[in-house]
A and B are shown apart, each in its own frame.
Chain A
Amino acid sequence: MTMLAMPDESLGVRLHAGARQLLQDQRPAEALPMLDRLARLPGLATAAALLRAEALAGLERLAEAEAAADLALAEDPEWSAARQLRARIRLARGAAKAAIDDAAAAVMATPWDPGAKALLGTALLEERLFDEAIWFLGEAMQAEPSHSGFRRRLGQAFMLAGRHAAAAEQFTQLLAAKPGEPGLAALQAQNALLSGDAEGAVAMARAGLGSGIAEASLHSVLAHALVAAGRMGEAAPHFAAAARLSPGNGYLAHLAAAATGEGTERATESYVAALFDGYAPRFEASLLSLGYRVPGLIRRMVERHCPAVAAGQERLGPVLDLGCGTGLVGVALADYLGGPLTGIDLSRGMLELAAAKQLYAGLHECEIGAFLQQGVPPQALIVAADVFIYFGRLEEVLGRCRAALAPDGMLIFSLERSEPYGPPWRLGPSGRYAHAPDYLARCLSEAGLVPVEQRMEDLRLETDHAVPGLLVLARPAPH
């Protein structure tokens, strides 16, 4: 039998003190092995669990952090510090509702703690409960007016609630006190941009850069503001700088590649998800204001090719809505549906809005290729409205659609159109791909699909021009 080393009497004290000090010094990784040992000492598992949750949260190992916080709370569910910690972890995991529960419990347990109130306000903000968020953040700030973090969150709450003047006041005050505070100049410019003052946002962001601040967020907001101001050419270097300062951010990498003309084969999943998550609540309004015509065009296409459905004599079988977004296609086809309507999207925010329409039998947060690959029952109709514009290569996705179609099924999709006989596809400065008609024909044929109808359509209006596109209906080729 192997002899194991035994702990001495004061080891627990040493490990606890050592780990706490390291957490205070913001060195969570260095505390972890100590906490592993601390948890093994009799009677110290709960104390170790809380510190461990804090360390893991600091390392963004959020699932493990939440499990450790659960353990810490199992013994004392009213432990405010543990509740607050778990609320922060849940917020970071995108579970705002659960975070609200924890933060509210912390506020009840320690009503004198402005930190708990600020946390509750932050969680409410994530759930877009603006009035409540502003109330709790305001409470926290009143209790501790010099706390720049509280004021900053309050400013963000005003900004997201569309109260841009109130937000600007908070940000201006913060900048006066701490001009170099990370992220603040970017927030101020973002607030101006969201208020519709693109030129003002450009000026603020440029002033921030001029004062020596070099942050991804500042470059990003400047690039977006320049795009909004119609100055796409000036935006490219700032998208590039933002992407370089934020390696691993697919959203910025894609925009940078698009703006500088360096194409990739398709938009990254994180780009699409981030784009539409940020967009979700405003998506429909934004698309409608852009003159988004695709759902209506799809409906008319269905009517032309399924006269019995149009006449109300038959209904559509199972329908798959790829990249369903907020469910606009579901709305457009609602009265023709007979079988289940299934929606696929990368953006959780979008899917929640689609679910609210009560039209979809199933909604999946999933990448399209992966979803199709796992096998679906034969579909009467597959719709991909403005989805393939985030793909460069089309061969694979079309092949997978073909495999999911019933023998007499239909695939309807839209594309942005580029010049024929040039490159098969190009990535435009908007971050979307345009495809050449000859390339499309080749891909359809390779996938075993026959184009039944192909219409040149303007997909939507952008700033001052229409985006030329193609609307295609294809069926499986006869064997």
Chain B
Amino acid sequence: MRCRDCSFLPGRRRTEMGAVAYRAGLEALRAGTPAEALAPLTATLDDPVHGEWARLNLGLALQALGRLAEAEGHLAMAMAALPDLAEPPFRLGTIAGLRGDPASAMALFRAALARDPAHIPAHAALAALTEEAGDRAAARALLETAHRLDASEPELILALARLALTEGNADAAREGAAQVLAMRPAHAAAARLFAEASLALGGMTAALAEVSACAEADPFAAGWALAGAWLREAAEGPAAALADLRTAQLLAPEVPEILAALGHALAGAERTAEAEATLRAAIAARPGDLDLRNRLATVLWKANRLSAMLDLLEAAIRDFGPHPTLLQNRALALNAIGEQEAALATAEAALAGGGVPALVNRIAVLPYHPEAGTAAGLRTAAEAIGQAMPLQAPLVVRRRLGEGRLRVGLLSGGLGQHPVGWLTLAGLEALPEVEFELFAYALKPRADPLAARFRARCARWREVGAMEDAAIAGLIAEDGIDILIEMGGYGEGGRPFVLQYRPAPVQLKWVGAQFSTLGLAGCDGILTDRWETPLGAEPHYTERLLRLPDGYVCYLPPPYAPPVTPLPALAADGVTFGCFNNLAKVTAPVLAAWARILAALPTARLMLRTHALGEATTRARVGERLARAGLPLGRVALEGGLPHRELLAAYGDIDIALDPFPYAGGLTVCEALWMGVPVLALAGDSFCGRHALSHLSNVGLADWVAGTADEYVTQAIARACDLDGLAALRQGLRGRVAASPLVDAPRFARALGGVLRQAWATAAR
């Protein structure tokens, strides 16, 4: 098979004019440095002799660099100008394939074969798409034709072997894969196929033993390490594959597919820094790999590198077109950087062809939107998800009636140092064990002190993050859970669709991206309070509203929180406002209100502090946005995130916390209050728009909650002018919070226990 990335030479007519530059371009392509080919080839485009060939090779160079959109134009012109040549339509076909347009790709591959019936890559590519379209027989015929043309071509042997596996002939598949590995010991796809076929033939243990024996006999062939990696990942997840992948990469450092596999596994194992470096190297070696781009985007997301993530996604959208996964990731990044309008527009653009993930993506950004993020709008969006993910056949195997100890399941990725942990642990610890037996279904392994306290309280601990929804539900049903509490929602890592299998007789929503109704028929109730959902809020929820008598959460102040400092304004020129919420919550109306406040108070300052602001480009981008909104940048500090203890200590510089809207602060409000900083908030109508109202009411500071933006501005100015009042409030605030229901775990546990019993009794009736 001809190498797909090598240069393409004109077979006839050469002139001296332009020949030097042209040849320099070809040399660069042959040497594997396509970037260096661009200038000489571009310079040759108008050459009467070499022009069209230069255009074709320029297309190849651009394609090799992943600049697909640019490559496409040149290749299309070359296709017209060189009517006998198969390469231009073949290349255009691969670009169409990368963009998820199989119909165009197949047409182009056929065009290539019409020009050159012996073009083997076109046969193979067309066969792959034909098989994807469900016509295995036609695919086999194409491959066999090509195989007759070149019986020693490993790609064809591999394609036939892969087809054999889908046809159920694992023996033939394994043999074919082994044949390819004998010729190309580091062939990643052949190694994977060998592992798959071996697994199909003998199961996991036998397959691992077989691959180990091969590696023992042939230790320096990367393929066996790769096959082992694939099996271990299938059995135990990405972290388990790293050992073999690292070895494979050292054995064959020149193979881009191995680098790509290592990058994916590092990302899956959350080794962020190493994953980023490896993925960037893999993308450079495989610019046409869309999955690598999306994977790097998620790595940057986890590292709070939002501007880098946006740059990457925008380049990928230019190259690959508006692919739904790229759009969804872009929507998340835009939202997280505080550009809510663009985020929602992007999320909506991803709905076409995006399926349920796109609907979930939309509701993940919707509550932040200043106009659309209303309780009613959220219910509509949630119900669209509920309709797309209907109830499955219920799994509950028994319905225990009557009294006795209740077995309560917690389904969450946040059972540790995470907002879910800080807002639930104290209450759960105080639930009497003789009445409530807790089972944890942890979606993310955590090993911090809070996670240990969850473990200490839970009678059973199950790590279920790697399992499918149906399997998790099966386990919950098998465990005989009476009440299942979902604590992840439509947030990152949440698995709300487990509820749709109905594994427990009573299923409730609590904390963990609790910004609205879930809209799922499998969710019976939502734990709330009278401030989050006052009487009359019912129409916005598909669940029953189970109101706790005080707040809907119980805050656990960190034992390492530093003492409250004196009011900083007493030693400064003016007050310092602060907002330590993430940028997704900082909307245009919030900025407008803050601009008015700072305009009215010429010595006042504002400090924003969040992880995303640790990235210089994001800081600059946010700074521009603030300036456009009229904020005086000279009085605004943009600061990055800090370790938790230092973050709490940073409240020592803040006089008044300004809460954002329409998505209010939750844990952030509790932390500010614990650090002696009062929070000025504006209540909305959505669940997430009322978190601050709930917490402030719970500590007797309901008068710090405004009903309108004007009131918010007026109150901020008035509060800032009353330094004595602020100082007195600050001095007593921690004591006040400590004595309030917000942190009174026994009181909260009694209330929670009562509500759970009531939900159980209602279901029993």
Contacts and interface: CB of A to CB of B under 8 A. Distances in A.
Interface of A: 2-7, 11, 14-15, 18, 22, 27, 29-34, 36-37, 40, 180, 210-215, 219, 237, 240-242, 244-245, 247
B459 interface: yes
B250 A11 contact: yes
B220 A212 contact: no
B250 A244 contact: no
A342 to B, nearest CB: 41
A30 B220 contact: no
Interface string B199-224: 00000000000000001011111100
Chain B residues touching A, majority SS: helix
Given A2-B182, A214-B452, A245-B455, A37 B246 contact: no
A41 B176 CA distance: 30
B453 to A, nearest CB: 4
Contacts of A4: 217-218, 220-221
B456 A219 contact: yes
A36 B219 contact: yes
A232 to B, nearest CB: 16
Contacts of A210: 559
- In order of increasing CB-CB distance, the 7 nearest A-B pairs are A214-B452, A241-B456, A5-B221, A212-B559, A5-B185, A33-B247, A30-B243
A3 B185 CA distance: 10
Given A14-B250, A210-B559, A212-B559, A37 B220 contact: yes
Contacts of A212: 449-450, 453, 558-560
Contact of A213 (B222, B247, B449): B449
B653 interface: no
Given A11-B250, A37-B219, A245-B452, A32 B243 contact: yes
B221 A214 contact: no
A30 B246 contact: yes
Residue of B246, B433, B458, B559 with most chain A CB atoms under a 10 A cut-off: B246
Contact of A34 (B218, B247, B560): B247
A18 to B, nearest CB: 5
A364 B220 CA distance: 47
Residue of A32, A214, A215, A245 with most chain B CB atoms under a 10 A cut-off: A214
A165 B124 CA distance: 79
B218 A5 contact: yes
B62 interface: no
B243 A5 contact: no
A37 B559 contact: no
B457 A241 contact: yes
Contacts of B251: 5, 7, 11, 37
Given A11-B220, A244-B456, A18 B185 contact: no
Contacts of A2: 182, 218
A240 B433 CA distance: 11
B47 to A, nearest CB: 41
A240 B458 CA distance: 10
Interface string B246-257: 110011010000
B242 interface: yes
Given A5-B220, A211-B559, A212-B453, 17 more contacts: A2-B182, A4-B218, A5-B185, A5-B222, A15-B247, A30-B243, A31-B243, A33-B243, A36-B219, A37-B220, A214-B450, A214-B455, A214-B456, A240-B433, A240-B456, A245-B455, A245-B456
Contacts of B704: none
Nearest to B452: A214
Nearest to A6: B220
Nearest to A27: B242
A14 B242 CA distance: 16
Contact of B182 (A3, A27, A40): A3
Given A14-B250, A15-B250, A33-B244, A244 B455 contact: yes
B508 to A, nearest CB: 24
B59 to A, nearest CB: 34
Residue of A5, A18, A40 with most chain B CB atoms under a 10 A cut-off: A5
Contacts of B461: 244, 247
A29 B243 contact: yes
Size bracket of the B interface: 20 to 34
Nearest to A214: B452
A26 to B, nearest CB: 13
Contacts of A34: 243, 246-247, 250
A237 B247 contact: no
A238 to B, nearest CB: 9
Contacts of A247: 461
Contacts of A240: 433, 456, 459
A264 B188 CA distance: 51
Nearest to B451: A214
Interface in B375-431: none
A4 B453 CA distance: 53
A256 to B, nearest CB: 10
Residue of A31, A37, A219 with most chain B CB atoms under a 10 A cut-off: A37
B225 interface: yes
24 contacts: A3-B182, A4-B217, A4-B220, A5-B186, A5-B221, A7-B251, A11-B220, A18-B246, A18-B250, A31-B243, A33-B225, A33-B246, A33-B247, A34-B246, A36-B219, A37-B219, A180-B449, A211-B560, A213-B449, A214-B450, A214-B452, A214-B456, A244-B455, A244-B458
Contact of B433 (A6, A31, A40, A237): A237
B560 to A, nearest CB: 7
A286 B384 CA distance: 70
Contacts of A36: 215, 219
A22 B250 contact: no
Nearest to B460: A244
A422 B433 CA distance: 27
A236 to B, nearest CB: 9
B452 A215 contact: yes
A221 to B, nearest CB: 14
Contact of A244 (B215, B218, B459, B559): B459
Contacts of B253: 14
Contacts of B453: 212, 214
Residue of A6, A33, A242, A244 with most chain B CB atoms under a 10 A cut-off: A33
Contacts of A30: 242-243, 246
A11 B219 CA distance: 12
Nearest to B434: A260
Nearest to B274: A25
Contacts of B225: 33
Contacts of B457: 241, 244
B431 to A, nearest CB: 12
Contact of B246 (A5, A11, A22, A244): A22
A37 B221 contact: no
Contacts of B247: 15, 33-34, 37
A442 B44 CA distance: 102
Nearest to A13: B250
B410 to A, nearest CB: 14
Contacts of A241: 456-457
A113 B244 CA distance: 36
Nearest to B448: A214
Given A22-B246, A33-B244, A237-B433, A7 B456 contact: no
Contacts of A237: 433
A166 to B, nearest CB: 29
Interface in B219-247: 219-222, 225, 228, 242-244, 246-247
Contacts of B185: 5
Contacts of A6: 220
A4 B251 CA distance: 13
Nearest to A15: B250
A82 B624 CA distance: 59
Residue of B185, B215, B219 with most chain A CB atoms under a 10 A cut-off: B219
Contacts of A7: 220, 251
A16 to B, nearest CB: 10
A183 to B, nearest CB: 13
A242 B456 CA distance: 7
Contacts of B458: 244
